[in-house]
Amino acid sequence: MGAKRKECEKVLQSAKQLVIIQYKKTRGKERDALSEKRIAIVGLGCAGCHALQAIRETDGGAEIDIYSETELPPYNPMLTTYYASGRLPYGGLFPFGTLEEISRRYNARIFTGDRVVRLAAGDRRIETAAGRSGEYDQILIAAGATAFVPPSFGGIKNVFCMRTVEDAEKLRRAVEGRKFSNAVIVGASMVGIKVAELLHNRGCHVTLADMAPHIFALAAYPEVSGMIEDRLRAMGIELVFGKAITQAEEDTDSQGNPRYTVTLADGTVLETELLVLNIGTRAACSFVDREEIAVDRGILVDGRMRTSAPGIYAAGDCCQGDNLQSGGKQIIGLWANAGVQGRIAGRNMVGVTDETDGNILHNITHFLDMDFIGLGDNRLTGEVRTYRSPEGGFYLQAVYRDGKPVGFNILDNYGVSGIIKAQLIKVLRGQPCRFSPEQRGQLVRYGVPERMIDTLEAGI
């Protein structure tokens, strides 16, 4: 892991205990002028950190307690595959710094390694597995999400997931300690394809399986999925789609190494040395009483990130906020979205009115020398407009309904994604959305011909 890893572990060592990180309290005359509000944040990920910053920008005197189930600083789950593949140093997983730095910078207490087991909405009380209890004026639930493991895999001890830093460390140790000849990855998601890339680049034969009919089922149009799948097959990656997994069993080989047998609904049997699950996530809100706080797939919130219970807010992957495109409530589990929601929640918690009209589904990922960008809801159908560059590679598919764009897929051209995403959001907000001369120039520079730019603007 190297000297840098050891240095990071040394810095993090003090956080490896079930202790309160002490913070410096303001004293004297300054204390008399500061707020006496007590605030709790459950979870210290992207949403929690942005909320903490927003709170301190307005209220320097509120007492803030943070409850973190992990003993690690806040990290970006989407970076775990980069660490597992050796492309990111250990310290790069933690964009907000150490727990000590966060505690000192924002004058907050952090309870580490302690799980919240109950949130009583009526008196805004938090209870933890270690027996801690506290009542607060405002509470933010920012507990994120956890990897989903279906019942058919429940009896397997050595199955790998990819969500947490611990997951990434476990997989990295495994692939560095043993050369695997084959692997089955269940879940053709943005994370699943990155794990496939990691193993493929190490010479492992990879089978990517999903009960969905095609890759990136929640983001890609069938035509674009087909293009990606053709490229993957040409690389030697085996694809098994549209088949549910009915059973998974674990055994050992003659050397005592784990082996797995995965049975599909049609009777197909997959034998493998390494099994990785990237099936999806579930909102981490089991400690919430659904009789007190409205919960669907996640905790339901309004544009100010307020839950149905007074004084209790939610932000990030544990909550269902507004989908700008559909008008409904949806978990949009994206790093940037969690940051926006956390900041809005923090501001409202200290009396600064702020709100969001929601976000759209969007994904961008790079894998196996390919770029894929999906913008908007790929379930919406309409008129399809496409462009393919003469040299191949770059492909753009746009879907229009009633003359307005509802979604885009882009292959191998991340440079145009920001402009096109901004256009889609403006359309949804009813704002003027003609491309500016500068935007047209950038689109041309990245290979979009003028005629296609005119097509993208048609009907707007």
Residue 170's CATH number:
3.50.50.60
The pLDDT value recorded for residue 149 is 86
Closest CA to 375 of 405, 351, 413: 405
CA 7 to chain centre: 27
Judgement on whether residues 312 and 165 belong to the same structural domain of the protein: no
The pLDDT value recorded for residue 193 is 97
Judgement on whether residues 409 and 342 belong to the same structural domain of the protein: no
The pLDDT value recorded for residue 322 is 96
CA 303 to chain centre: 20
**Dihedral angle over CA of 342, 347, 351, 352, nearest 10:** -140
State both tokens at 135.
């009542």
pLDDT in tens, 194-248: 999 999 999 999 999 999 999 999 999 999 999 999 999 999 999 999 998 888 8
For residues 106 and 64, give the distance between their C-alpha atoms in angstroms, rounded to a whole number. Answer: 9
pLDDT in tens, 94-152: 999 999 999 999 999 999 999 999 999 999 999 999 999 999 999 999 999 999 888 87
pLDDT in tens, 154-205: 778 888 999 999 999 999 999 999 999 999 999 999 999 999 999 999 999 9
Domain end among 232, 260, 279: 279
Judgement on whether residues 111 and 260 belong to the same structural domain of the protein: no
Partners of 371 in the β-ladder: 366
Judgement on whether residues 388 and 427 belong to the same structural domain of the protein: yes
Q: Is residue 444 part of a domain?
A: yes
Q: Is residue 356 part of a domain?
A: no
Judgement on whether residues 191 and 247 belong to the same structural domain of the protein: yes
The pLDDT value recorded for residue 253 is 85
The type of residue at 113 is G
The pLDDT value recorded for residue 32 is 36
Q: Based on the number of CB atoms within 10 Å of its own CB, is 452 exposed (0-12), middle (13-18) or buried (19 or more)?
A: middle
Q: Is residue 300 part of a domain?
A: yes
**Exposure b/e, 303-328, CB count within 10 A at least 16 = b:** eebbbebeebbbbbbbbbbbbbbeee
The pLDDT value recorded for residue 459 is 52
Q: Is residue 355 part of a domain?
A: no
- pLDDT of residue 456 exceeding 90: no
Q: Is residue 437 part of a domain?
A: yes
Q: Which residue has the tokens 């784990």?
A: 258
Domain end among 234, 257, 279: 279
- pLDDT of residue 4 exceeding 60: no
- pLDDT of residue 355 exceeding 50: yes
State both tokens at 198.
């990691």
Overall residue count recorded for the chain in this entry:
460
State both tokens at 347.
């501001």
- pLDDT of residue 458 exceeding 80: no
Domain end among 279, 298, 316: 279
Q: Is residue 13 part of a domain?
A: no
Tell me the chain's radius of gyration from C-alpha atoms: 24
- What string of DSSP letters covers 6-30? HHHHHHHGGGSSS-EEP-PPP-HHH
- ∠ CA 299-41-287 to the nearest 5 degrees? 45
Judgement on whether residues 182 and 290 belong to the same structural domain of the protein: no
Q: Is residue 119 part of a domain?
A: yes
Judgement on whether residues 270 and 289 belong to the same structural domain of the protein: no
Judgement on whether residues 188 and 300 belong to the same structural domain of the protein: no
The pLDDT value recorded for residue 1 is 47
**Dihedral angle over CA of 187, 192, 198, 200, nearest 10:** 40
Judgement on whether residues 207 and 139 belong to the same structural domain of the protein: no
Judgement on whether residues 335 and 408 belong to the same structural domain of the protein: no
pLDDT in tens, 293-314: 999 999 999 999 999 999 999 9
**Number of domains forming the structure of the chain:** 3
> Residues 6 or more apart from 210 whose CB is under 8 A from it?
186, 187, 188, 192, 217, 240, 241
Domain hosting 172: range is: 151-279
Asked if 53 and 96 count as a contact pair (C-beta separation under 8 A), the reply is: no
State both tokens at 43.
């979870």
pTM value is: 0.89
Judgement on whether residues 258 and 158 belong to the same structural domain of the protein: yes
pLDDT in tens, 428-455: 998 877 899 999 999 999 999 998 998 8
- pLDDT of residue 283 exceeding 50: yes
> Residues 6 or more apart from 166 whose CB is under 8 A from it?
none
**Residue 5: other Cβ atoms inside 10 A:** 12
CA dihedral (163, 168, 174, 180) positive or negative: positive
CA distances from 407 to 93, 110, 385, 386, 392 (A): 31, 42, 11, 12, 22
For residues 149 and 281, give the distance between their C-alpha atoms in angstroms, rounded to a whole number. Answer: 9
Q: Is residue 23 part of a domain?
A: no
Whole-number mean pLDDT of the chain?
90
State both tokens at 119.
């949130």
Alpha helices by DSSP H, 286-436: 335-349, 417-428
Residue percentage of the chain with pLDDT more than 70: 92
Judgement on whether residues 401 and 432 belong to the same structural domain of the protein: yes
